[in-house]
Structure formats: C-alpha cells, structure tokens
Structure 1
Amino acid sequence: MITVQNAEGFLKEKIGENTTNVANDWNEFVSFGRQPVEGEEEIALLFQCGVYDFTGEELFYFDFVRQFTVYEDDEYSGMEQLHCEFVFTPTNELRSLEASEWYFDSDGDVDDFYHLVENLEEFKIALKLEPLRLNIYQEQI
C-alpha cells in the first residue's frame, strides 16, 4: 500500500533514475495519480509550467504534482506535495508558456483532467523537447 511517507520512493521506483523521457514519465505519473494512498480522503493533482527563477537562474519548469493532506490521529497536520518536475533551458518559445491546472476528485473524472492537460498547447510543446533533468521530490507546504 502506498502511504504519504513512501509515495516519493514509490514514484521514483516507477519512473527510474536519470530519465528525461517526458512522455513516458507522464504516463507513469498518470498511473500513479490513480493509485490509492493510505489515509487520503481526496485525490488532488496539479499540472503547472512556466519560467521561474527559483535557484538564481531562470529555467522552464514543467511539473506534475500530487498533493496530500496529512492527518495525525484524525487531526489535520498539514499538506505535502510530490513533484515530478522537468527542468528545461528557457527558449523564446518556452518563455511564453505558463499554465496551472488543478484536479480534485470531487470535481469529477480524473481522466477528464488528464485529457485537459494533454490537450494544452503548453503540454504539447514541452513534450517534444529534451529537458535538462528530472527532479522527483516531496515537500511540506
């Protein structure tokens, strides 16, 4: 069973190390997004992309996120996000792209969310490019 504590390791094992195959990794994330996580009351997913200066260098981030609400003894204790984040050199074409799409399972069918993301122009453009690297990490927010 996947738990919030082992979700990062689970996703890293599914995707593998040092991969830059965006389409394959998206498919693995889609599969992961359908997996139940122990204690999760609602599935929350996010696709986001854009050029940001998080590290002192402008880069294009292409990020698939699963958000977890964490409870301790049935009391809310916070949220965590598991990122599957591709980083690209920000070309002129990528500089013009920015998107943010959320899904909560109370919104309806997750396949509608995946279909929406796959049809975004931002998604289609970045899918054809070679990223610098993939970062898979989980953080408290």
Structure 2
Amino acid sequence: MTTGAAIDGAEELLAGELHSGRRAGARLDTEGAWRAFLRFARRPFDVPDAPDADGLLFQYGTHAFDGPPMFTLDLTRQFGICDDDGDHDHFVQVHCELRYAPGPALDALGSFGSWFFHDSGDHLDAWARALTERPAWAVLGGLEPAGVRVYAERV
C-alpha cells in the first residue's frame, strides 16, 4: 500500500518546492531554501517499514568537489531502498546543495552535520529550530548562494 509520494519523483518535488512562492527572476537565499527544504521534509513518501528509512541531513563545510573550494550547505533527504525480499539494498539521497564563495566568516564555521529520522520519535520542528538557533545560522541565514544544485544519487 502506498502511503506517500514515489521516491523516484523526490528530486522534482524538491526542485518544485525551491521554486514555489518566488517571484519570477527572484534569487533564492539560504532562508528561502531552508523553508523549501522543510516543506519537502514534511511530505510523506512511500518508504519501507524499516529503521531509518527516511532521514534528513543538514551539513556544511568548505570543499573542492568539482572545482575551486566553495563553502557548501547541503540539505539532504535520504531514503532507504529494500530489495524484493524486504532487505536493505541501498539508499537514495536527494540533495539541495547551496554553494557560497569562501570567506573568513564562512571559514570560521568549520564543518558540521546533523541527522534527523522521521521514525526516531523526535520532532522535525524541534530539530529545525535547534539548527537555526546555532550561531552559524546568523552567518548563513541571510546569504545568497553563488549556486544551487538539486540532484539525486544512489549511495
């Protein structure tokens, strides 16, 4: 029985959330991306009945993945995928990657990561509030990223 959206449509749903509510031509800032990600995070998906099958990751740091070093805020939703026997097979991660030119204020943040799992008994709003109450949010919240990339990958 399907209880939510299909995982194979998650990338498009996240991209849609990032564009919803913005005026044509308006640039996305960190706060807007975070609100869009949280709307996406609240959407139910058809996930296996397995521990940690639907998780969220908030992580940042300076990296040089495919070019010069950039400060990257990566908002990720991870889905567990099971094989035909119901055993864990792999994960699919859907990323909203916000990239910023490095600078002293961003470099001072270092790196950080925090997970949330929908089946943990914790509350999404409490997790989100704790992240935006971190001192790093005072630096990140009002920034406009130099680039935004939405993509899905199998891990």
TM over 0.5: yes
Question: TM-score, with normalisation over the residues of structure 2?
Answer: 0.83
- Determine the structure 1 residue equivalent to 2:104: 92
Instruction: Establish whether residue 34 from structure 1 lines up as the match of residue 50 from structure 2.
Output: no
CA distance in 2, matches of 1:57, 1:114: 30
Asked if structure 2 preserves the Cα contact closer than 8 Å seen for 1:47 and 1:65, the reply is: yes
Tell me the CA shift for residue 130 of structure 1: 2.0
1:15, CA displacement in angstroms?
1.2
Question: RMSD over aligned Cα, in angstroms?
Answer: 1.8
SS, match of residue 56 in structure 1: coil
Determine if the alignment matches structure 1 residue 70 to structure 2 residue 73. Answer: no
Change (3 A) 1:40 1:88: farther
1:58 to 2:69 alignment:
yes
Q: How far apart, CA to CA, are the structure 1 residues paired with 2:61 and 2:91? A: 23
1:44 corresponds, among 55, 68, 76, to 55
Cα shift at 1:134: 0.7
The amino acid across from 1:39 in the alignment is V
Q: CA deviation at 1:123?
A: 2.4
| Runs of 4+ residues deviating >3 angstroms | none
Instruction: Please report how far the alpha carbon of residue 107 of structure 1 lies from its aligned counterpart in structure 2 after TM superposition.
Output: 4.6
TM-superposed CA distance for 1:38, in Å, is: 0.8
Q: Contact between 1:68 and 1:79, CA under 8 Å: does it hold in 2?
A: yes
Identify the residue that residue 8 of structure 2 maps to in structure 1: 5
Q: CA separation of 1:93/1:23 partners in 2, compared to 1, >3 Å: closer, same or farther?
A: same
Instruction: State the 1:120 CA deviation.
Output: 1.5
The counterpart of 2:129, out of the listed 105, 115, 122, is 115
Whole-Å Cα distance in 1 between the matches of residues 116 and 138 of structure 2? 19
Secondary structure in 2 matching 1:11: helix
Q: Which moved more, 1:79-88 or 1:102-111?
A: 102-111
Query: Does the aligned pair in 1 maintain the 2:48–2:82 contact within 8 Å?
Result: no
Q: Partners of 1:39 and 1:104 in 2: how far apart?
A: 12
Q: Which runs of 5+ in 1 are unaligned?
A: none
* TM-score normalised by the chain length of structure 1: 0.90
